[in-house]
Each structure stands twice: as C-alpha cells, then as structure tokens.
Amino acid sequence: MKDQQKKPPQENIAAPQYCGYVAIVGRPNVGKSTLLNKILGQKISITSRKPQTTRHQVMGIDTHEQYQTVFVDTPGVQRKHDSAIHRYMNKAATSAMLDVDVVVLVVDRLQWTEEDAFVAASIKPTEAPVILAINKVDRLVEKARLLPHIQSLASELSWADIIPVSAKSGHNVDALQGAIRKRLPEQAHFFPAEQITDRSERFLVAEIIREKIMRAMGEELPHKAAVEIERFESEARLTTISALIWVERDGQKKILVGKSGANLKAIGSEARTDIERLLDTKVMLKLWVKVKASWSDDERMLQSLGYSETR
C-alpha cells in the first residue's frame, strides 16, 4: 500500500466583504431620517412633522455580517435658495449624490410632486443605481391604487428597484436593505463594526435639542432656531452641557422661553431624557436663548454653527 501523500493544511479563506456609500435623498418631509433611524435601530437623525428638519448630511453606518452600508441622510432637496442656510442645505443634499454606490429616492405614498420631479432630475447625472422607496404605504387608504402608481412612475427614471416601505413600522425595510446590499461593491469595510455614525456626541446633542424645539413650537418658530454647544464636560457619571439657542427676533425668544420659562424648561426636560439615553449617563443640561438677527443668512455665523462643507 502506497503511502498517502500528505495534503498541505487548508488556509482559512476569509469571506468577501462588501461596502459602499448610499445616499438617501428626496424632497423635504418624506421620511428620510425616519427610514435611516429604522435601518440602524437607533436614532441618529432627528425627526419632526415639519419639512426641512434635517439640515446637515448625517452618516449612519449599518454593518451586518459581510455587508457594511454607509448611509448619508440629507436635507430635503428644494427649489428655493432664498437664504444662505437654504443654499447650504441644497448643496449638502446634491453633493451626497456624487461618488456614491447607490441612491435611494424616498417619496410619499401616491404623491409625485414638482419637487419630487426636481429631485429625480438632479439624480439623473449620477451613474449609481437608483432605488425608489415609496414610503408611508401603511397609511394608504386605497391600497389598490399603489400598483398603478408604481407603473406610472416606472417611466420617470431608470429605477434599479421600486420598493414600497413604511419607515415608521419597518414594513418591507428589510427588502430595501437587501436590494441595497446586493449592489454594494466588494471591498473591505471602511469603519469598525461597532461604529454607527461619523458624527460627534456634541453634534448629536445639539440636534436632539433642536428636535425638541421644533416639536414643541409648532408653527410658531419655523426653522429660525439654531443650537450651539458651549460646554460639554464629562466627569464620573455626570455630563454637564450648556447650550445656546439662537433665534432671529426678540418675539421668537419670548415664544421659545415661554411664560416664566415654562417652554424652555419643557424643551430641556425632554432633551435631557434623550441625551441621557444617548450618552448612557446622567446629564445636567442648561439652555439659554439669544437673538442674532438674520443668522440664517449670515455665512460666517453658519460656519461657526457647523454649517460647512468640511464639517
């Protein structure tokens, strides 16, 4: 009997990794931030019922087995450019579509507005596949109208996929994730598996405070408030945060503060709860309100508040 030839030990071959950037785009208030938060299972983008809640590009990183999807949530694309902040927001939204691997265009149920068409037109130059996510389908009363609507949208752009979803309930979000992952290029992951965003804790804290302002103020203070973190100190199990809220007129300050400071106290209380959840520590939060006329059209002021391309 011949001696059996010894086989060299098999090397452990690592499974291939897939990673890429995905821009989530759409007109204001279609649910882009809610969709990103649902995918990540964690809140990193603030939400409210008001359009233009998102002002910055916010990156969310979803790592699942060999797939790492780097989402970029963007401000709603809009046609008006009547102030420096609107110009900044539009630039942040459109620049996100450059050099990405996939674009997800989010629309609201059976609506296809001039603003939706404007966003779709801005996408056309990209070479990346575009997935149309029809959001809020759980709120459709006449569900039989969905299929004809999808068929009518098929001619608007060369869609890679058209997927009805509900960002709020999570309906079909896994199907959307699957459609995205199969289009990611094969390459090593860009970020550690445990990292969920590229934004700092200071940024996330400021955004939480701004969210509570927008939710509390209704239509009384539309988009005229900005938040600046002046102090952020962590000691043992306590984080002390001082935040300055900028508004444009004395009347806005009066509304925001409220009678005997009631509105500002309520905003601070709700913000502190979310911040403690984010930081996993006790938080002492102090809020002040100051007036700066036309801050939203002041390029230097915007840069000091973090509205810059370099972030």
Q: What CATH number does the domain containing 137 carry?
A: 3.40.50.300
Could you tell me if residue 146 is inside a domain?
yes
Identity at 260, one-letter amino acid code = S
Instruction: Residue 238: give its domain's CATH number.
Output: 3.30.300.20
Say if CB 77 and CB 94 are below 8 A apart: yes
3-state secondary structure of 170: coil
Is residue 310 very low, low, confident or very high in pLDDT (cuts 50, 70, 90)? very low
Same domain, 116 and 264: no
Same domain, 159 and 73: yes
Rounded to two decimals, the pTM is: 0.74
Q: Which of 174, 23, 19, 28 shows the shortest CA–CA distance to 105?
A: 23
Question: What is the pLDDT at residue 48?
Answer: 47
Residues 6+ apart with CB under 8 A from 275: 205, 208, 239, 241, 283, 285
pLDDT tens per residue, range 188-217: 999 999 999 888 888 889 989 988 988 887
Question: What is the pLDDT at residue 86?
Answer: 52
Same domain, 26 and 168: yes
Same domain, 266 and 143: no
Query: How far apart, in whole angstroms, are the C-alpha atoms of residue 203 and residue 189?
Result: 24
The total number of structural domains in the chain stands at 2
Could you tell me if residue 152 is inside a domain?
yes
Same domain, 167 and 206: no
Half-sphere exposure at residue 126, Cβ-oriented, CA atoms within 13 angstroms = 28
pLDDT tens per residue, range 239-274: 999 999 988 888 889 989 999 999 999 999 999 999
Query: How far apart, in whole angstroms, are the C-alpha atoms of residue 311 and residue 306?
Result: 6
* Residue span of the structural domain in which 206 resides: 201-304
Same domain, 175 and 256: no
Same domain, 161 and 87: yes
Number of other CB atoms surrounding residue 222 within 10 Å: 13
Same domain, 216 and 83: no
Higher pLDDT, 146 or 96: 146
